[in-house]
Chains A and B, each alone.
Chain A
């Protein structure tokens, strides 16, 4: 399972775009990149998953360069309610042999008014 490295914390202001980068130098061929969001006193919530290039959904975009050794979660026009911890995970997708999610310490995003 690939180890991930991401910033411990980030600050932003309402309305700004936030980009959180995750390093995963030993990502394997079968590995997917997944991001989760966690608010205090709640369980993590799936945000987005990708394998290569770019993935976009209604809440975020995920940019993955060709070498896949890093990825960037992009949150457009953040609001105060986006203040949370964001986790980058790398593993064999949900149908992989391991199935378990390996979380790091995450990035605490603090959005100021």
Chain B
């Protein structure tokens, strides 16, 4: 079946611009996660949705970052006034959230480059 998809695969923007990154989770998955991965590092948690609500946004670095999931499916990560330090691969993952051995399935990521 279809996995997690993310668009665009690459995004180049200029410092100060606004960007939106989209995640389509696996159908039926109620939980959705955003992570950020810098070169040579492991993914870093940003935010977790259970259904439409953000259950844990403790990883968002500052108020320039915001994410929504209005219908409990597709999610959009929004970054305002981008800075060069925001350059990274942004990963989305989803899971069923049915039990203690639930697995997170990751998408291929969006590579964001801020010039």
Q: Does A49 lie within 8 Å of B101, measured CB to CB?
A: yes
Show the binding face of A for B, using Cβ within 8 Å. 32, 41-46, 49, 87, 93-96, 98-106
Q: Does B40 lie within 8 Å of A93, measured CB to CB?
A: no
> What's the minimum C-beta distance from A11 to chain B, rounded to whole angstroms?
18
Can you list 28 A-B contacts (CB < 8 A)? Answer: A41-B108, A41-B109, A42-B106, A43-B91, A43-B92, A44-B106, A45-B106, A46-B104, A49-B103, A87-B42, A93-B100, A93-B101, A94-B95, A94-B100, A94-B101, A94-B104, A95-B97, A95-B99, A98-B56, A99-B31, A99-B48, A99-B55, A100-B33, A100-B59, A101-B33, A102-B45, A103-B43, A103-B44
- Given A95-B99, A100-B33, A101-B45, 16 more A-B residue pairs with CB atoms under 8 Å apart are A32-B101, A42-B109, A43-B92, A43-B109, A44-B43, A44-B106, A45-B106, A46-B104, A94-B95, A94-B97, A94-B99, A96-B100, A99-B48, A100-B48, A101-B43, A103-B44
Q: Determine the main DSSP class of A at the interface with B.
A: loop
Chain A residue at minimal CB-CB distance from B109: A43
A44 to B102, CA, bound (A): 15
Other-chain residue from B35, B40, B103, B104 in contact with A105 (beta carbon distance below 8 A): B40
A87 to B95, CA, bound (A): 19
Q: Does B107 contact A (CB under 8 A)?
A: yes
Q: Does B79 contact A (CB under 8 A)?
A: no
A104 to B48, CA, bound (A): 19
- Chain B 32-63 interface residues, beta-carbon cutoff 8 Å to A: 33, 35, 40-45, 48, 55-56, 59
